Structure 1
């Protein structure tokens, strides 16, 4: 039996001068909601490259979200197995 699932992540970016913030929000099929933030700040000597700041802030938000999902999965495994779980990327 093959199952196809789609999870959607909403990503919001805010830029203010040299700083960019990203918020990644995920709603799981069981209605659990998770949110993570990322941030980047351009050094004053660096050229303006808006996309680079957006990429860094987004990567950091998604990395945080990935770690939250790993912790959640570990907790769920431990609840069922009653043994320590150490999932990793």
Structure 2
């Protein structure tokens, strides 16, 4: 038996805490790359089960640069993923604001929830 805060914790209470904290989810992401002449475009789709977000990225090759398609793919994909990341952070911030404390806590600039 584990004791914390002066109170014994039983196996049942420990198991409940573990069950209450467990959260598993699977998000699916698809990344599409398109190349035409000196331009590579990336389109990424994230499906969370409740939300679908899309990100976009573009890379332009300078005519003086060597033709290495992988570089355009990496730049366009990275930019699309950055776009998606910005959207995810904005969505999370919006959700935190919607679930934050009201009243005095907001008057003092405190927002309860995940640290941003």
CA RMSD of aligned residues (A): 1.8
Choose which of 25, 30, 47 in structure 1 pairs with 2:45: 25
SS of the residue aligned with 1:47? coil
1:13 matched to 2:22? no
1:53 matched to 2:75? no
Q: 1:3 & 1:76 partners in 2: Cα distance?
A: 18
Asked if the contact 2:57/2:76 (under 8 Å) is kept, the reply is yes
TM-score, length-scaled by structure 1:
0.86
Could you tell me which runs of 5 or more consecutive residues in structure 1 were left unpaired when the two chains were aligned.
Answer: none
SS of the residue aligned with 2:27? coil
User: How many angstroms does 1:37 deviate by?
Assistant: 0.4
Asked if the contact 1:74/1:86 (under 8 Å) is kept, the reply is no
Larger relative contact order, structure 1 or 2 (CA cutoff 8 Å, min sep 6): 1
Could you tell me which runs of 5 or more consecutive residues in structure 2 were left unpaired when the two chains were aligned.
Answer: 1-18
Name 2:6's counterpart in structure 1: none
Q: What are the equivalent positions in structure 2 for 1:54-73 lying under 5 Å apart?
A: 54-73=73-92
